[in-house]
A and B are shown apart, each in its own frame.
Chain A
Amino acid sequence: MKLTGAEIMVRCLAEEGVSTIFGYPGGAILPFYDALRTSKIKHILTAHEQGASHAADGWARATGQVGVCVATSGPGATNLVTGLATAYLDSIPVVAITGQVARPMIGHDAFQEVDITGITMPCTKHNFLVKEPAQLAHTLRLAFQLAKHGRPGPVLVDVPRDVQTELIEYVHDKLPEVGLPQPDMERVNRAIAAINQAQRPVMLVGGGVIRADAEYDAMHLCEKLHMPVVSTLMGLGAISAYRKLFLGMTGLHGHERANNAVKEADLILAVGSRFNDRVTGERSSYGANKKVVHIDIDPAELDKNIYSNIGIAGPMKQVLNLLEQGSKVKDLSPWWQRIESWTSMEEDFGDEQAPLFLKALNAVIKDKDYIVVTDVGQHQMWAAQHLKIQFARQFITSGGLGTMGFSLPAAMGAALARPQSRVISISGDGGFKMTGSELYTISTHKIPVTAIVFNNHGLGMIRQLQTVQFEKRFTSCEFPGYVDFVRYAEAFGVKGEHVKTPEQLAEALAKAMELDEPYLIEVEIDPKDMVLPMVVPGLGIGDFVKFEEKK
């Protein structure tokens, strides 16, 4: 059967089970949009291509399925880049399809021509420029396979306009499965022996556990051994925060108890974490006086940042199950007594007011199928520290790249991916101004996202860093202009309200969760509030900043 390239692109998306895509049209991708018109695939026209890429990312984070975004050549394609880099650093399966100028025009600096495969090479898992129409279908299938295979990641497919219009033979097909590297059993046995010997073990869960849908396998292992668990930002939700074994988040804004446990442990069992610098603090002291057992699907993560005594590359579920089978239950009560002597995650935030807003939300979200999506900055850390995340894929955040403006469009993608859930987007006023225009998309499609804007009239994390690192020489961290975000939302047809207290916020959110439409809640935050605990920049994760006279 002969079809146009554009029709084949639509067919290939259908082959992959894609129901919804996010995008923005332009000249070089118009044949695809024309073919899309008669398809069952739902296209969400965003306000900006960056929104489309974050929405596809949010879709993927909420479901584990590949998220898809589409843009035209040139500026359309470059506007996707931040979203692709965001997905790349957090290992999120996304396929981006971009239009490209027609093949004879490539290299002539044609109108809206950029070398997007060149631009995105370092921030995608792989990318393709389809020069041969006959290779189009196979390339798209391979793009989906690569996005999902092993360690997931974004893949971009650049399709010249004349490839989209050419008539090509189409055959429905499926690529053969590609196996994963198998764990080295000798190393697995050494890891089991190390776990069985440990007096003070800690499990460190990272985003890789969630990516691999291995949260139950991780939980079974630590439940069996009664092993304390700490989480990275990306691992939140892999272990319910209500479980006794959970000590909290570890890292530069980690809980005191979690960080101290890592510091004093004689064994760290790191699962699906890449030991990012925000997790380890000063690297050379991190693994001192302890054994590090590191498990990751990506062999390149082993010994990249932290030297591991035993590194195991392999599928997460499989390795965790092997460790569970081999490990022996042991009395860890002296270790637990030591752990319980440290300030718990319930009480270590000083006298700051802002965390109380997050704590108030816990009663609203408890045991509910609610997804929380954050932006980047202080509110993100407060959310990570104080929200009790119970389930994998319940907490969505831009961890690796730290992309401001991520929350609202990602929340939109998550809400469309999981219509049975309710989605709460939390942003600061800074990040919300970056991609707030996606309220247009949310309003147009009546996507029930509740956007909470923490308004401290400035860039709180910048203010905090300037307090700690620059002796309070504040610059560019305060917004002199005023934005009323409730009225901003009204302009898009989205209702909202202002709240001033944690109780009001909880009440407003509970009400919003009952609505079948978007809602915005603006929260007044004290600009002087800080994220505590905080590790001294450049020091180890047990060295917390002490604020004598903070304000």
Chain B
Amino acid sequence: MEQIIAIVVRNQPGVLMRVAGMFSRRGYNIDSLAVGTTEKPEFSRMTVTMDADEATIQQVCKQLEKLVEVEAVKVLPPDSSSKRSMILLKVHAGEKRIELLRLAEVFRAHAVDVKGSSLTFVATGDEGKLRALIQVMEPYGILEMVQTGLVALERGDTSLRVESSRFSWPRE
């Protein structure tokens, strides 16, 4: 089952390697990964998606919590979380620019570059929507594409906030 794990970590060099290293060392596969800072500059938030059963995901969370730079871990409920990833897609347009632009509208994808004989679209959405966009664009000839990892927040008032670290860290 596809699981979404939100991880709040200290925003320090090497922390990505520690988290990623834990996954590879213990034989877990990351499907997607996104990292960015939070409203507090000393913390970053990672979103990891992976295919795992209940027992495995529990173990993953506990192993993550063991890393001293990890401050909070939560498995997000897939049905009540807002999930997005972003795609940039460069498609061969040739004579079919108008057709492509119309198609893109269906996915609320915007053209961000129209130079030459190609079009570059940007779109956001959950995995299913972006996969559908790729399928639709495929026949025209995808020249290049790049995708971010999934980011997700739980819906409603719950929040994964960290007020302060467990340990006292040296000041920057």
Residues of A at the B interface (CB closer than 8 Å) are 117-118, 121-122, 125-126, 129, 132, 134-135, 138-139, 142, 145-146, 175-176, 178, 298-300, 302-304, 307
A110 to B128, CA, bound (A): 48
Do residues B167 and A298 form an inter-chain contact, with CB atoms below 8 A? Answer: no
- Measured CB to CB, the closest approach of chain A to B104, in angstroms, equals 43
Do residues B14 and A304 form an inter-chain contact, with CB atoms below 8 A? Answer: no
Do residues A303 and B59 form an inter-chain contact, with CB atoms below 8 A? Answer: yes
- A-B pairs, top 4 by smallest CB distance, nearest first, are A135-B170, A138-B170, A300-B62, A126-B68
Do residues B25 and A122 form an inter-chain contact, with CB atoms below 8 A? Answer: yes
Do residues A132 and B168 form an inter-chain contact, with CB atoms below 8 A? Answer: no
A-B contact pairs, 6 of them (CB 8 A): A117-B14, A122-B21, A132-B170, A138-B171, A175-B168, A303-B55
- Chain B residues, Cβ within 8 Å of A138: 168-171
- Measured CB to CB, the closest approach of chain A to B55, in angstroms, equals 7
B154 on interface, CB distance cutoff 8 Å: no
A304 to B26, CA, bound (A): 11
Contact pattern, B 151-172, Cβ under 8 Å of A = 1, otherwise 0: 0000000000000001111111
Q: Known contacts A121-B21, A122-B21; is A142 also within 8 Å of B62 by CB?
A: no
B131 on interface, CB distance cutoff 8 Å: no
Contact pattern, B 55-75, Cβ under 8 Å of A = 1, otherwise 0: 100110011011111000000
- Chain B residues, Cβ within 8 Å of A142: 167-170
Interfacial residues of chain B within 14-50, with CB under 8 A of chain A in the complex: 14, 17-18, 21, 25
Do residues A146 and B68 form an inter-chain contact, with CB atoms below 8 A? Answer: yes
Do residues B166 and A118 form an inter-chain contact, with CB atoms below 8 A? Answer: no
Do residues A303 and B68 form an inter-chain contact, with CB atoms below 8 A? Answer: no
Residue of A nearest to B55 (CB): A303
Q: Most A CB atoms within 10 A — which of B21, B170, B171?
A: B170
A299 to B68, CA, bound (A): 14
- Chain B residues, Cβ within 8 Å of A178: 166-168
- Measured CB to CB, the closest approach of chain B to A151, in angstroms, equals 8
Residue of B nearest to A173 (CB): B168
Do residues B62 and A146 form an inter-chain contact, with CB atoms below 8 A? Answer: no
- Chain A residues, Cβ within 8 Å of B63: 300
Residue of B nearest to A125 (CB): B68
Size of chain B's interface in residues, with CB distance under 8 A? 23
Do residues B66 and A298 form an inter-chain contact, with CB atoms below 8 A? Answer: yes
Do residues B66 and A300 form an inter-chain contact, with CB atoms below 8 A? Answer: yes
Do residues B17 and A176 form an inter-chain contact, with CB atoms below 8 A? Answer: no
- Chain B residues, Cβ within 8 Å of A132: 170, 172
Q: Known contacts A146-B68, A300-B63; is A118 also within 8 Å of B17 by CB?
A: yes
A299 to B62, CA, bound (A): 7
A303 to B63, CA, bound (A): 12
Interfacial residues of chain B within 52-108, with CB under 8 A of chain A in the complex: 55, 58-59, 62-63, 65-69
Q: Which of B13, B58, B67, B69 contacts A303 (CB 8 A)?
A: B58
Residue of A nearest to B60 (CB): A300
Q: Which of B13, B14, B18, B167 contacts A146 (CB 8 A)?
A: B167
Do residues A299 and B65 form an inter-chain contact, with CB atoms below 8 A? Answer: yes
- Chain B residues, Cβ within 8 Å of A139: 170
A480 to B59, CA, bound (A): 47
- Measured CB to CB, the closest approach of chain B to A528, in angstroms, equals 39
- Chain B residues, Cβ within 8 Å of A121: 14, 17-18, 21
Residue of A nearest to B67 (CB): A126
- Measured CB to CB, the closest approach of chain B to A253, in angstroms, equals 27
- Chain A residues, Cβ within 8 Å of B172: 132
A176 to B13, CA, bound (A): 24
A134 to B170, CA, bound (A): 8
Do residues A300 and B65 form an inter-chain contact, with CB atoms below 8 A? Answer: yes
- Chain B residues, Cβ within 8 Å of A303: 55, 58-59
- Chain A residues, Cβ within 8 Å of B65: 299-300
A302 to B59, CA, bound (A): 9
A304 to B168, CA, bound (A): 29
Q: Known contacts A126-B68, A176-B168; is A304 also within 8 Å of B17 by CB?
A: no
A129 to B15, CA, bound (A): 12
- Chain A residues, Cβ within 8 Å of B13: 129
Q: Which of B59, B166, B168, B170 contacts A300 (CB 8 A)?
A: B59
A129 to B169, CA, bound (A): 13
- Chain A residues, Cβ within 8 Å of B59: 300, 303-304
A138 to B65, CA, bound (A): 23
Do residues B62 and A145 form an inter-chain contact, with CB atoms below 8 A? Answer: no
- Chain B residues, Cβ within 8 Å of A176: 168
Given contacts A122-B21, A178-B167, A298-B66, list 9 more A-B pairs with CB under 8 A: A117-B14, A132-B172, A138-B169, A145-B167, A146-B167, A175-B168, A176-B168, A300-B66, A307-B55
- Chain B residues, Cβ within 8 Å of A134: 170-171
A453 to B62, CA, bound (A): 42
A176 to B169, CA, bound (A): 11
